[in-house]
Amino acid sequence: MEKKKVMVVIDENEHSYHTLTWVLDNLNELFTTKSSLIILATQPNYNYASIAPQFGSAGLSFFSFGSNQELIKSIQQRTNSIYEGLCEKAKNVCANRGVLVEAFTEPGEPKEVICNASYEHEIDLLIMPHYCSCPLKRIFLESLSEYCLRNAKCPVLLVQKPPKLQSYMDMHTTTKFV
């Protein structure tokens, strides 16, 4: 059996951590000899157009006539260090479970970065978190996972984090104030 490449997509959201631990819990035997695990952390690509609107009308005067390149560069450097830290944390989680992993981060539009990376690295299985969104939002906005399902050149496995379960007592008792 040839060695397979599996890519897990992470970000700073707790769903990503759940996805990674789910993969390690449920597919661990796959990574001992048969496959390699690659972790991708996609970081947003900041520029003037993405930062200025966050400041509202103050952004118009603050960023007008030649954007503040130092601010943008500072934000990009900080974002890069945060995502490098995410990769290191993911490597440590995998190492603690005896799984060797390659992790990298790449800036850009996440949906494009993920699909391009899965193609360039010849990934055999792409695993990513699936965030539940309200039905109305799904009608008007295409989710990242839906985009990757349609455009990735490999099979895509979506891992959904189960809702937090209430305890039996919380669901079946009521508190009465006297």
95-142 per-position pLDDT tens digit? 998 888 999 999 899 999 999 999 999 999 999 998 766 665 555 556
CB 30 within 8 A of CB 61: no
Structure tokens at 135: 């039905």
CA distances from 79 to 29, 43, 90, 106 (A): 34, 7, 17, 11
pLDDT at 152 over 60: yes
Its pTM stands at 0.75
Please state the rounded mean pLDDT for residues 143-148. Answer: 87
